[in-house]
Amino acid sequence: GESVGLHLPTLSVQEGDNSIINCAYSNSASDYFIWYKQESGKGPQFIIDIRSNMDKRQGQRVTVLLNKTVKHLSLQIAATQPGDSAVYFCAQVTTDSWGKLQFGAGTQVVVTP
Amino acid sequence: DTAVSQTPKYLVTQMGNDKSIKCEQNLGHDTMYWYKQDSKKFLKIMFSYNNKELIINETVPNRFSPKSPDKAHLNLHINSLELGDSAVYFCASSQAGKETQYFGPGTRLLVL
């Protein structure tokens, strides 16, 4: 399934399927992007990051894609598991901004059996 | 062994009261942050300290006053609490020059 936009939509995914979470960012000066996962009642947890000189980065079951031309970022989760149910945030930062993260609104991912 | 810890986890108080939230990190980082997450899950930075020096101060009412006694601690004091202050407050830390921030578990503040 896919989700687009910065509002807090809900993405319902069947266990075992791939998930795609999209994020449109606004600051073209941003040169570093991070995806965070926030489970219910917990703080945001780092998943994966990417710098603006890259267009793809892979981690364990996750891939982040960056399209600077259209200012778009996506997070792909392979073989989605129940433990992937959470709110996912993209965040952008400019290197000289002293770590001032700008967060997107988040996407709620619900994994169904 | 918690990397970033916050106390208390829950805080319920009356309007007009003064309260403090504490944050500690044992990651050896030199930069710490406070974020506010509203009821719609939107996360916004409030303050940032580097080596006990204030470096980011967003448009936050001056009822909010951060204090950093040392690099490992960043506390948040709130005077004259208002209903609109109800939110989840997250502390985070990072190493200067490395943008990845590590978040605490949050403090859920409810002002009645």
Contacts of B92 in chain A (CB under 8 A): 43
Q: What is the pLDDT of residues B20-71, one digit of tens each?
A: 999 999 999 999 999 999 988 999 999 998 888 888 888 789 999 999 999 9
To test the contact with chain B by mutation, choose from A23, A50, A64, A98 the residue with the greatest count of B C-beta atoms within 10 A, namely: A98
Do A95 and B100 count as a contact with CB atoms less than 8 A apart?
A: no
Q: pLDDT category, A3, cuts 50, 70, 90?
A: very low
Q: How far is Cα B66 from Cα B77, in angstroms, rounded to an integer?
A: 6
Do A42 and B106 count as a contact with CB atoms less than 8 A apart?
A: yes
Q: pLDDT category, A8, cuts 50, 70, 90?
A: confident
A25 CB within 8 Å of a chain B CB: no
Do B105 and A43 count as a contact with CB atoms less than 8 A apart?
A: yes
Burial class (CB in 10 A: 0-12, 13-18, 19+), A35: buried
Closest chain A CA to residue B10: A41
To test the contact with chain B by mutation, choose from A47, A96, A100 the residue with the greatest count of B C-beta atoms within 10 A, namely: A100
Q: What is the pLDDT of residues B64-104, one digit of tens each?
A: 999 999 999 999 999 999 999 999 999 999 987 667 899 99
To test the contact with chain A by mutation, choose from B9, B43, B88, B94 the residue with the greatest count of A C-beta atoms within 10 A, namely: B43
Q: What is the pLDDT of residues A48-101, one digit of tens each?
A: 999 999 999 999 999 999 999 999 999 999 999 999 999 999 999 877 776 788
Do A103 and B90 count as a contact with CB atoms less than 8 A apart?
A: no
**Average pLDDT, integer, range A16-23:** 96
For chain B, strand residue ranges (E) read 4-7, 10-13, 19-25, 31-37, 43-50, 53-57, 64-70, 73-78, 87-94, 102-103, 107-111
**Residues A87 and A107: beta-carbon distance below 8 Å:** yes
pLDDT attached to residue B1: 61
Q: Which of A8, A26, A15, A5 is nearest to A111 (CA)?
A: A15
ω into A9 cis (within 30 of 0): no
DSSP annotation of B39 reads T
Do B103 and A44 count as a contact with CB atoms less than 8 A apart?
A: yes
Neighbours of B6 (CB within 10 A): 24
pLDDT attached to residue B25: 97
